[in-house]
């Protein structure tokens, strides 16, 4: 692959485009341009490796290789065949193709992916009388098609599987949140990495572990592998050097991180996940009912992802629950700030505190609100909602 300096596109979740652009700036990416749920940037091979390793709010780092208009599926087949695929994949290798389609002309993303796959494997068969095989889970090459109306962008997916999977979460409690969402929320809060951090409904520990990774300079992708490691031009020496540089930056976090949950199993899972990330010694785990805890946690930052109440029989149960969250924060978290994310927009209104920020986000398919609350000393008037 002749790719000294090239364009890349990092995809992300709705609402984190600017955060991702900031992250790219920090690692030295050039020509950063914000797109819809994605950020375009330029860099060399080192930047491609670094972006995969370091970016906390990216889902994938794509390398566009071709862009064209398509009239119909046959046209897609023809134009995919114009790409010299043996530059990127050996005939004995494996591939997978994913397609996203946003178009009035084409609707079935699976069908478009299938057509593109036929074009790739037929090219190999014509040339070598053999063809690479398909492996959807761990292919040597993952190809990404992005079809927008009649415009088709073909990219190589340098990440492999989604960067949202860091590799430390081997066990999951109920309704775990994506690592990218948790890291993105922590970034939006502008946490200074020093203030004590409380994660009182920790579930599988995502907020706490992401926070510990951030505070200890542990790169997001430190515990996983990437698609580019399977590419024919993989530079092992360069990759080793980047990983060594990253390892040397890892340090002990300054503030304390407290993770707790009412459910004992969740606490055990969270602790195991933190062990996997080599960060368990920096997080204190405890089984605790947040609503009945009398421990004062003044001057800290709290991240809460409470149950949304989809499974509770009716709103009557979830509203008092959210009311109590507000009361608890008011009484035991003076001079702190709390960030609450919930898809239950109605229940959020009953927290009883006035949010100083409201941000629209998505947790999977669910539209959510992330709300920030400033908690004052004593019973200041401002903290009550009118």
Ligand X SMILES: C[S@@+](CC[C@H](N)C(=O)[O-])C[C@H]1O[C@@H](n2cnc3c(N)ncnc32)[C@H](O)[C@@H]1O
Residues that bind ligand X (CB under 6 A): 173-177, 200-201, 203-204, 206, 261-263, 266, 289-291, 305-307
**Residue 203 Cβ vs ligand X, minimum distance, rounded to whole Å:** 3
Q: With respect to ligand X, which residue has the nearer C-beta, 240 or 311?
A: 311
Q: Of 328, 363, 324, which Cα lies nearest the Cα of 344?
A: 363
**Looking at beta carbons only, is 124 or 207 nearer to ligand X?**
207
How many Cα atoms occupy the beta-carbon half-sphere of 225 within 13 Å?
Answer: 10
DSSP state of 136: S
Phi, psi of 162 (to 5 degrees): -55, 140
Is the separation of the CB atoms in 37 and 361 below 8 Å? no
* For ligand X, the closer CB: 290 or 373: 290
Instruction: Classify residue 71 by burial, with Cβ atoms within 10 Å: 0-12, 13-18, 19+.
Output: exposed
Q: How far is the CB of 267 from ligand X (least distance, A)?
A: 9
What does the DSSP assignment read for 223-263? TS--GGGGSTT--HHHHHHHHHHHHHH----SS-EEEEES-
Please say which residue, 94 or 273, places its beta carbon nearer to ligand X.
Answer: 273
Q: Which residue is nearest to ligand X (CB)?
A: 203
How many beta carbons lie within 10 A of that of residue 163, not counting itself? 26
Least Å from the CB of residue 223 to ligand X: 17
Which pair of tokens denotes residue 111? 């069908």
Comparing CB distances to ligand X, the nearer of 140 and 261 is: 261
State the alpha helices, DSSP H only, in the chain: 17-26, 45-54, 73-81, 109-128, 179-189, 206-215, 236-249, 264-276, 315-332, 345-348
Q: Please, which residue, 116 or 270, has the CB nearer to ligand X?
A: 270
Q: Please, what is the minimum distance in Å from the beta carbon of residue 56 to ligand X?
A: 15
Min. distance of Cβ 280 from ligand X in angstroms?
16
CA–CA separation, 186 and 339 (whole Å)? 9
Q: Which of 242, 300 has the CB closer to ligand X?
A: 300
Closer to ligand X by CB, 19 or 173: give it.
173
Beta carbon of residue 38, minimum distance to ligand X (angstroms, whole number): 24
**CA distance readout (Å), 22 to 19, 58, 104, 289:** 5, 12, 34, 37
Question: What whole-number distance in Å separates Cα of residue 83 and Cα of residue 60?
Answer: 22
Q: Shortest gap between Cβ of 238 and ligand X (angstroms)?
A: 34
In the complex, what is the shortest distance from the CB of residue 289 to ligand X, in angstroms, rounded to a whole number?
Answer: 5
């Amino acid at each position: 692959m002749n790719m000294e300096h090239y364009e890349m596109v990092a995809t992300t979740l709705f609402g984190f485009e600017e955060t991702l652009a900031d992250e790219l700036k920090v690692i030295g990416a050039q020509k950063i341009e914000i797109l819809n749920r994605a950020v375009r940037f330029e860099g060399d091979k080192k930047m491609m490796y670094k972006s995969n390793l370091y970016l906390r709010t990216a889902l994938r780092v794509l390398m566009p290789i071709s862009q064209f208009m398509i009239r119909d599926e046959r046209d897609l087949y023809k134009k995919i065949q114009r790409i010299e695929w043996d530059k990127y994949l050996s005939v004995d290798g494996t591939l997978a193709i994913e397609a996203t389609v946003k178009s009035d002309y084409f609707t079935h993303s699976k069908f478009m992916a299938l057509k593109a796959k036929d074009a790739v494997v037929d090219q190999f068969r014509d040339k070598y009388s053999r063809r690479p095989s398909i492996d959807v889970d761990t292919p040597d090459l993952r190809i990404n098609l992005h079809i927008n109306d009649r415009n088709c962008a073909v990219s190589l997916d340098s990440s492999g599987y989604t960067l949202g999977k860091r590799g430390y979460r081997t066990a999951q409690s109920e309704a775990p949140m994506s690592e990218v969402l948790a890291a993105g929320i922590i970034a939006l809060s502008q946490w200074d990495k020093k203030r004590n951090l409380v994660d009182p409904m920790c579930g599988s520990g995502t907020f706490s572990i992401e926070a510990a990774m951030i505070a200890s300079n542990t790169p997001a992708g430190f515990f996983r592998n990437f698609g580019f490691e399977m590419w024919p031009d993989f530079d092992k020496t360069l990759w080793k050097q980047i990983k060594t540089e990253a390892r040397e930056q890892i340090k002990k976090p300054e503030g304390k991180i407290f993770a707790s949950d009412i459910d004992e199993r969740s606490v055990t899972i969270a602790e195991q996940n933190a062990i996997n990330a080599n960060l368990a010694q920096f997080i204190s785990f405890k089984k605790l009912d947040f609503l009945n805890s009398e421990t004062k946690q003044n001057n800290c930052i709290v991240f809460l992802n409470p149950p949304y109440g989809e499974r509770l029989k009716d709103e009557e149960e979830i509203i008092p629950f959210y009311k109590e969250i507000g009361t608890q924060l008011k009484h035991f978290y003076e001079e702190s700030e709390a960030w609450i994310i919930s898809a239950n927009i109605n229940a959020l209104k009953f927290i009883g505190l006035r949010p100083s920020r409201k941000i629209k986000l998505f947790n999977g398919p669910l539209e959510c609100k992330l709300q920030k609350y400033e908690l004052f000393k004593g019973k200041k008037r401002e903290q009550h909602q009118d």
